[in-house]
Amino acid sequence: MRYLIYSLLLICGMAGTTQAAAWQAVQGDVVTVETVSESSNLRLWCFGKRWPAKQQADGRWRGWIGVDLNTKPGELPIEWSDGKQVIARDTLNVSKGEFRISHIQVKKKMAEFDAPTLARIRKEVKALKATYVEPVAATPDVKMFGKPTEGIESTPFGAQRYVNGAARSPHSGIDIAAASGTAIRTPLAGKVLFAGEMYLNGNTVAIGHGNGLVSVFSHMRKIDVKEGAWVETHQLVGEVGATGRATGPHLHWGVRFNMARVNPESLL
């Protein structure tokens, strides 16, 4: 299910001026916003962060904002500036997402960890998180060209996860159940920032697409790319598997946008 909510841009009749727009989003959305400005170097700000913005052929400016899964619902300010002064102010209205509950049962060693295992997990998580801020040459737009594999969505984005009855963090991606060995292809070109085995995530690949976008593919049976390599859109990166903490063969596909945990489907 997609959580992207489309909004209307309100433009004044006077050329070169804009009326404040109220943009709508649900927790986990990537929302597209627009404004009109004669500036050739416009910057987009929200959540205290700068977000990618590009001038379109007709002169309008288009930007993209990632709403983290745990963003508190409410109104948030958006600012467009030229680096010296604010050109326009808009509002982002964030609504609470309707997320389901997910229960899984796994072996005890995948739910309760001794000190060495916990140290390993923390080290691996730290290495993966480092990819979320690694700079990569930007692709033209903030969008994905299809899902990375064919299958059935077994766990949606945002689901409240319970492992052996104990609450865990909300599901920060989508799980796509498919036969072991099913091809995984990157939905957008980018640089391989991480490729290796993790205790919980299993065989994992992280690809930086630029613009602050990073895709993470986990539980793979096989990895077909190496760290540092550049991959093109729809290039094979590996195969679906059940490595790490998995109850069956599937692909976990997560996306970070400027560190925000966002629903991959809102980028399709």
Q: For residues 213 and 177, what is the distance between their CA atoms, to the nearest angstrom? A: 24
Cβ-count burial 51-72 (b if 16+ within 10 Å, e if not): bbbbeeeeeebbbbbbbbbebe
- What tens digit of pLDDT does each residue of 115-164 get? 999 999 999 999 999 999 999 987 667 899 999 999 999 999 999 889 99
SS3 content of the chain, % helix, strand, coil (to 5): 10, 45, 45
Query: What per-residue confidence (pLDDT) applies to 19?
Result: 54
In this structure, what is the dihedral angle of CA atoms 73, 255, 117, 192, given to the nearest 10 degrees? -160
Q: How confident is the model at residue 57 (pLDDT cuts 50, 70, 90)?
A: confident
Where does the pLDDT of residue 202 fall: very low under 50, low under 70, confident under 90, or very high at 90 and above?
very high
Q: Note the CATH architecture for domain 101-267.
A: Distorted Sandwich (2.70)
Same fold for the pair 22-95 and 101-267 = no
Q: Domain locations in the chain? A: 22-95, 101-267
- Whether the CB-CB separation of 172 and 160 falls below 8 Å is answered with no
Domain 22-95 falls under CATH 3.30.70.141: no
Query: What percent of the chain is predicted at pLDDT more than 70?
Result: 92
Q: Which pLDDT score is estimated for 139? A: 66
Q: Would you give the DSSP letter of residue 20?
A: -
What percent of the chain stands above pLDDT 90?
Answer: 81
Q: How far apart are CA 186 and CA 188, in angstroms?
A: 5
Give me the chain's average pLDDT, please: 91
pTM recorded for the entire structure = 0.89
